[in-house]
Amino acid sequence: MSANYDPQYIKELFNGMSKTYERVNFITSFGFSIRWRRQFLNSIPRTNEKIEIIDLMTGMGETWGGLRKNFPNSRISALDFSDGMLEYANAKNRRSFRNEIQVIHENVLENRLEANHYDIVISAFGLKTFDRGQMEILAQETKRILKPGGRYSYIEVSSPKNFLLYFLYKIHLKYVVPFFGRLILGNPTQYKMLWKYTESFQNSDSIARIFESAGLDVERKTYFGGCATGITGRKAVA
């Protein structure tokens, strides 16, 4: 395993960015991150039924509002292993959700979540920091915790296949994002890693194949010309 994918390194990286991550992410994506979150959640049919949902790699809980809107009677759990991110997530939970979100402080790759428990499993922008072996574990864990017939949806920032769009997006992530990181955080090094992870991740084609190999139904999704990609699907009923 490369040191860049070591869970402890990832944890410390996001702990260091936690004070500014949400703000920098919004500014540098020109608000597209909010639109992409809405679009990837809409890949799962809305329902008023009482269902169980878990948001993996929840970060600061940026997806909770969309989940509550689309699934108003659901019971939402959220998992992350970054102390810094969860500090802000817990504050948001108290401030905006009356502590109704069950926040779980665990590594998704070594979790104690109940098998066959969740109707919906989602995650936004948490895939790029996994290597192939970790993605294989994630696929197996997604399958394990989903109820038969349950649905999942994942989205990640990606490298567009169009050359011009790729070039512009590379400049944006490699230089503009660290610049804002320097202005707000005073240290661009942590934000430079976001491009390195994105460049290595490329798009969701690889993880789509991994999820298919795990026995999950998979549909590929593309957002804004490939600047973000994702997968959605369901676990077989039997």
Give the model's pLDDT for residue 174. Answer: 84
Pair of tokens at residue 220: 């590929």
Residues in the chain predicted with pLDDT less than 70, given as ranges, are 1, 24-30, 184-188
The whole-model pTM stands at 0.94
**What topology does CATH give the domain 3-12+25-157+201-234?**
Rossmann fold (3.40.50)
